[in-house]
Structure 1
């Protein structure tokens, strides 16, 4: 990925992060960074893996959730602070993403993010050929890079409690159930799995590398070396869930089939299964 392109998107992200307390349309952002909105839309989506609209919406809702838990501001004030024109509009979008209305979320008192700020890497470029041999078992020293990537892909995993996740990650590393694809001091991809259940507990790919076929490399590694001749399963959002940024479609493209509907952390999810190869 071109360094200049990454720098440009970093500038866009910086502008967005500095203006989360207002209405941020594509036209507004494009004018502020001096790009045509069509060029900016394409460049941002290619680099970040989601549209500016989705990124802004998820970031504003995350800031709203933070205010609901850690401030005493009224819901209407929070709605206005986070760029919504009415409490009704804010409540509708918040409920669609957090699966509960703002008042109930506030009463629960447990903050978790829908989307954290993206930090991109200038080292990324288009001419990298990764193979499954580049994937290795993670060690304790990989935890900082691993957690940085977790924060980047939190959109795929609702209800992230970092302290709880970190404890589970250390356990996975100790049991040789955590795989990582490193590039220098960053993680390009990560996967935690279970030998006992054959389940993928967590899989994330750096947004700048989503077009490199990384999930397939991890899946090949898992099937060939760690869970041979074993049914592999994972869970993700249900069909038509507005919180899904493309994870269902990715699993289907990898060959996973839909199974039973579940509820996890209050979220309606669905189990997906990759059948044993014949």
Structure 2
């Protein structure tokens, strides 16, 4: 598996993967998301993981300005293979030591967030404040590089 910055030629493959997992992201507005993705690609804030055959199997958007992991998805057929962890570790390498990164995810007890919370906590993210996003209860998790 190879992790690298996404570029414009990855755009459609990225959206195809998003279509497979979009139910996991309440409030997702595809038109707005595409605009954010374009900007993230331009800013080199979009990472992709491709398998040995060149298939896009994981994607991550982050914000340097906000010190935030903003989006993470793994192809359903390729889960539990370390793809998400590798993407996150690659993102960590792009920030200076001591940076406080955050990710917003589902609250504990929400069945939609079991896998995501388990992943983030296994990497070392710790629980932060409770928030509401798109009228849905969420929680911020934090990690200091």
TM-score under structure 1 length normalisation: 0.49
Say if 2:119 is the partner of 1:250.
yes
Which stretches in structure 2 are left out of the alignment for 5+ residues?
A: none
Write out aligned runs for 1:25-174 (5 A): 130=1, 134-174=2-42
1:242 deviates by: 3.6
Name the structure 2 match of 1:209: 78
SS at match of 2:81: coil
SS at match of 2:142: strand
Name the structure 2 match of 1:270: 139
From 172, 177, 190, the equivalent of 2:45 is 177
- For the Cα contact (< 8 Å) 1:138–1:173, is it kept in 2? yes
SS at match of 2:113: coil
C-alpha distance in 2, partners of 1:159/1:173?
22
- For the Cα contact (< 8 Å) 1:191–1:201, is it kept in 2? yes
More helix by share: 1
Which stretches in structure 1 are left out of the alignment for 5+ residues?
A: 1-129
CA pair 243-211 structure 1, distance change in 2 beyond 3 A: closer
C-alpha distance in 1, partners of 2:111/2:4?
34
From 66, 69, 74, the equivalent of 1:200 is 69
1:270 deviates by: 0.2
- Of structures 1 and 2, the one with the larger relative CO (CA 8 A, separation 6+) is 2
Q: Residues 111-149 of structure 1, C-alpha deviation per residue, up to 9 Å, x if partnerless? A: xxxxxxxxxxxxxxxxxxx3xxx1111111101110111
- For the Cα contact (< 8 Å) 2:85–2:119, is it kept in 1? no
Count of residue pairs brought into register by the alignment: 143
Q: Residues 38-80 of structure 1, C-alpha deviation per residue, up to 9 Å, x if partnerless? A: xxxxxxxxxxxxxxxxxxxxxxxxxxxxxxxxxxxxxxxxxxx
Say if 2:99 is the partner of 1:220.
no
1:245 deviates by: 4.9
- For the Cα contact (< 8 Å) 1:233–1:273, is it kept in 2? yes
Name the structure 1 match of 2:105: 236
Structure showing greater radius of gyration is 1
- Segments of 4+ moved more than 4 angstroms: none
1:192 deviates by: 0.5
